[in-house]
Amino acid sequence: MLSHLTAIENVTMPMIFQGTSDVERQKKARELLISVGLKERILHQPAELSAGERQRVAIARSFANNPELVIADEPTGNLDSVTGKKIMEILTDFHQKKGKTIVVVTHDPDIASYSKEIINIKDGQITANHLVAEKVLWKK
Query: Are 26 and 61 members of one domain?
Result: yes
Provide the number of structural domains found in the chain: 2
Q: What is the pLDDT of residue 133?
A: 59
Q: Which of 36, 65, 94 is the last residue of a domain?
A: 65
Query: Are 34 and 72 members of one domain?
Result: no
Query: Are 83 and 137 members of one domain?
Result: yes
Which helix (H) or strand (E) segment holds residue 57: the answer is helix 51-62
Q: pTM value?
A: 0.83
Closest CA to 8 of 28, 21, 93, 19: 28
CATH code for the domain in which residue 139 is found: 3.40.50.300
Could you read off the pLDDT of 75-122 as tens digits, one per residue? 998 889 899 999 999 999 989 888 889 999 999 988 988 888 899 989
Domain with 79 in it: 67-140
